[in-house]
């Protein structure tokens, strides 16, 4: 299939959806899927909001540099807000205004960021956001949040990626994304980790700000009351929106400082209790080419006012290596400092793409992460890696080191070195000592309309099998004139590292309860994955047709343990 939706199956884009989108201002890639070549252009801005409307919307929290004492309250408004501000107790905090003009539609987006510092640890605060031209000025939006506890305290967080929006006009959006946000609230975590591919705006290139708006207003239900900490995925990368295409993402989020000039917001870390959380942008290291792409035959033509040239068929926005090694150097420094710190027991890494995934209908695994980052995870004993990207749930055994030359090139059958991560145990005991190996969790189970809960099997030996990208899958011309495609992963391996795969649904949420352990006790993290059985539009294993559901039930519980670092 020409466009990358993290779902190689063409049947996932129903014709009615294509027609709706074509009518709304079609794109080259959608025109390619829908039929005959036709010049397509953005026909002007849709539903342009009143320029004078400063009413807060898309309200969400992120941690400040120190989660025990600081948060950032961020929001947007349809037009420019006058004197945007947050109020917390008696304090009135003016918001920083950040704006950008979408490089394809030419629409201007207004966002606001109030940095709130000087808070007490483990305390609950009420806040309100408003502006002089707030339509709700008489009763401004208000909510409460809680700061992180000080020291070795117990806390809960939740995670998934690949959320999308509930507005099914957009490619990959689906009603489950509203239930997924409600699920976060039902578990009342201190915060939520959103593992990339937030809303797939780049698959709806002529209406990106509208897609982001639906995303922001959907997740406000939870994100206004507790921080949601994101990382970029391949679908945050947009044509004509900044050097890595991340302007829509970076403008909306204020994230902890990484002190990497020119790369703010792309990666960061923060500390809560005895856990160091490290969020990285795997777009920088993966081989796979999966970001913005025009398949053809038509070009993607930005609105005239943008001054941007049409994006020609066969163009992809490929950003592997964009930081020139700066991110990996930062990652090593951050992991090393974390492991040296006697008050840190756990290191948890968040990234979008997967080093270990055996989804057969999704992307699979990527050698780029294995080469660049897994040796660092081994060296500094990273406990847990949380991913999205493949729309399912998969858990690895703890892995350390690599088995060499056990992969096979799909095209030729030749041996290829996929650096297959080596499981330190293949006994699924339910309790894993992560000082011995790193557990990887695939959590791309947020709310898209394309679950990928179908997994690989090697028919020769009946072992689990994973696809692996070992080289870039840049666009190549198909047999149809002016239509380009990107290939699937080029290699396979027996997935000896795969411990558990959920075949019943592609939707779920992981809940993490961190227990720091008593003075002489053992720290542990209890992880329970809840899944939304019946939410798959069509379950690939059973063929049963489903629909969005609010019912999340337990799939599995396991524990990570390690010795206290002090």
Residues that bind Fe ion (CB under 5 A): 6, 197, 233-234, 389
Give me the least distance between CB of 145 and Fe ion, in Å please. 29
Q: Which is nearer to Fe ion, 229 or 354 (CB)?
A: 354
Our CB check for Fe ion shows the closer of 134 and 197 to be: 197
Cβ nearer to Fe ion, comparing 54 with 508: 508
Which residues are within 8 A (CB) of 340 and not within 5 positions of it... i.e. 6 or more apart?
none
Instruction: Tell the smallest beta-carbon distance from residue 446 to Fe ion (Å).
Output: 11
Minimum distance, C-beta of residue 71 to Fe ion, in the bound complex (Å): 28
Between 81 and 163, name the residue whose CB sits nearer to Fe ion: 163
Cα distance between residue 328 and residue 257, in whole Å: 16
The Cα 451–Cα 97 span in angstroms is 37
CA–CA separation, 354 vs 161, rounded Å?
12
User: Nearer to Fe ion by C-beta: 391 or 420?
Assistant: 391
Q: Is 428 left (phi over 0), alpha (psi -120 to 50) or beta?
A: beta
Question: Tokens for 273?
Answer: 């209790």
| Closest approach of Fe ion to the CB of residue 498, in Å | 19
Instruction: Please identify, using beta-carbon distances, which residue of 387 and 470 lies nearer to Fe ion.
Output: 387
Q: Give residue number: closest CB to Fe ion.
A: 389
Q: What's the rounded Cα separation, in Å, for the pair 283 and 289?
A: 9
Residues in the chain: 566
46 close to 202: Cβ distance less than 8 angstroms: no
Q: With respect to Fe ion, which residue has the nearer C-beta, 6 or 502? A: 6
CB of 363 to Fe ion, least distance (A): 7
CA-based nearest residue to 388, from 367, 368, 370, 362: 362
Whose tokens are 């923060």? That residue is 270
Helix/strand/coil for 100: strand
Is residue 220 a contact partner of residue 60, using CB atoms and an 8 Å limit? Answer: yes
Q: Which residues contact 89 (CB under 8 A, 6 or more apart)?
A: 125, 126
Residue 233 or 540 with smaller CB distance to Fe ion: 233
* Greatest pairwise CA separation for the chain in angstroms: 70
Per the CB < 8 A criterion, the answer to whether 394 and 498 are in contact is yes
Whole-number minimum distance, CB 193 to Fe ion, in Å?
15
Strand 191-194 with 228-230, pairing: parallel
Q: Which residue number, 57 or 236, has a Cβ lying nearer to Fe ion?
A: 236
The rounded distance, in Å, linking the Cα atoms of 474 and 40 is 24
The SS3 assignment for 530 reads strand
Q: How far is the CB of 290 from Fe ion (least distance, A)?
A: 6
Query: Minimal distance in Å, beta carbon 235 to Fe ion?
Result: 6
Closest to Fe ion by CB, 389 vs 501, is 389
Q: Partners of 346 in the beta sheet? A: 275
C-alpha–C-alpha distance, residues 189 and 157, integer Å: 5
Query: What is the b/e burial string over 321-344, where b = at least 16 CB atoms within 10 angstroms of the residue's CB?
Result: ebbeebbbebbeebbeebbeeeeb
Q: Shortest distance, CB of residue 169 to Fe ion, whole angstroms?
A: 21
* Least distance in angstroms from the C-beta of 8 to Fe ion: 12
Angstrom distance (rounded) from CA 478 to CA 462? 33
Edge-first strand listing for the sheet containing 191-194: 228-230, 191-194, 155-160, 508-515, 524-531, 553-561, 431-433
Nearest approach, Cβ of residue 96 and Fe ion (Å): 30
Smaller CB separation from Fe ion, 279 or 434: 279
């Amino acid at each position: 299939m020409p466009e990358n939706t993290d779902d190689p199956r063409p049947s996932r884009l129903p014709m009615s959806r294509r027609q709706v989108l074509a009518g709304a201002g079609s794109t080259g890639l959608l025109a390619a899927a829908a039929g005959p070549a036709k010049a397509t252009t953005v026909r002007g801005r849709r539903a342009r909001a009143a320029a004078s409307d400063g009413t807060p919307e898309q309200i969400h929290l992120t941690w400040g540099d120190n989660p025990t004492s600081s948060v950032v309250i961020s929001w947007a408004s349809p037009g420019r807000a006058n004197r945007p501000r947050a109020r917390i107790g008696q304090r009135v905090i003016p918001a920083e205004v950040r704006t950008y003009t979408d490089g394809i539609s030419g629409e201007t987006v207004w966002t606001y960021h109030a940095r709130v510092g000087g808070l007490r640890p483990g305390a609950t605060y009420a806040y309100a956001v408003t502006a002089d031209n707030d339509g709700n000025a008489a009763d401004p939006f208000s909510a409460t949040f809680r700061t992180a506890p000080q020291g070795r305290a117990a806390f809960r967080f939740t995670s998934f990626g690949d959320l999308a929006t509930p507005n099914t006009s957009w490619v990959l959006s689906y009603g489950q994304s509203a239930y997924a946000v409600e699920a976060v609230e039902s578990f009342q975590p201190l915060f939520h980790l959103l593992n990339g591919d937030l809303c797939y705006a780049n698959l709806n290139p002529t209406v990106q700000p509208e897609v982001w708006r639906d995303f922001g207003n959907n997740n406000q239900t939870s994100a206004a009351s507790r921080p949601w900490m994101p990382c970029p995925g391949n679908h945050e990368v947009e044509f004509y929106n900044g050097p890595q295409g991340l302007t829509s993402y970076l403008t909306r989020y204020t994230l902890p400082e990484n002190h990497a000039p020119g790369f703010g917001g792309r990666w960061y870390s923060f500390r809560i209790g005895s856990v160091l959380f490290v969020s990285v942008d795997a777009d920088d290291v993966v081989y796979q080419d999966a970001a913005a792409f025009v398949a053809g035959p038509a070009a993607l033509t930005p609105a005239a006012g943008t001054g941007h040239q049409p994006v020609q068929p066969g163009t992809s926005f490929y950003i592997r290596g964009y930081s020139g090694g700066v991110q990996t150097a930062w990652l090593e420094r951050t992991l090393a400092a974390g492991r040296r710190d006697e008050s840190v027991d756990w290191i948890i890494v968040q990234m979008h793409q997967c080093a270990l995934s055996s989804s057969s209908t999704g992307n699979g695994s990527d050698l780029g992460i294995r080469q660049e980052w897994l040796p660092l995870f081994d060296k500094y004993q990273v406990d847990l890696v949380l991913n999205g990207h493949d729309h399912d749930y998969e858990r690895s055994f703890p892995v350390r080191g690599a088995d060499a030359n056990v992969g096979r090139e799909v095209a030729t059958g030749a041996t290829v070195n996929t650096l297959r991560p080596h499981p330190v145990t293949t006994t699924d005991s339910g309790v894993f000592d992560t000082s011995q190996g790193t557990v990887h969790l695939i959590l791309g189970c947020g709310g898209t309309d394309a679950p990928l809960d179908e997994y690989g099997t090697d028919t020769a030996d009946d072992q689990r099998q994973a696809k692996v990208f070992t080289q870039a899958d840049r666009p190549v011309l198909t047999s149809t004139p002016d239509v380009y495609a990107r290939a699937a992963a080029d290699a396979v391996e027996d997935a000896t590292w795969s411990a558990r795969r959920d075949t019943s649904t592609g939707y779920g949420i992981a809940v993490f309860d961190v227990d720091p352990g008593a003075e002489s006790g053992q720290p542990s993290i209890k992880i329970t994955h809840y899944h939304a059985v019946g939410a798959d539009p069509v379950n690939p294993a059973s063929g049963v047709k489903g629909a969005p559901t609010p019912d999340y039930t337990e799939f599995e519980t396991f524990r990570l343990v390690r010795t206290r670092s002090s």
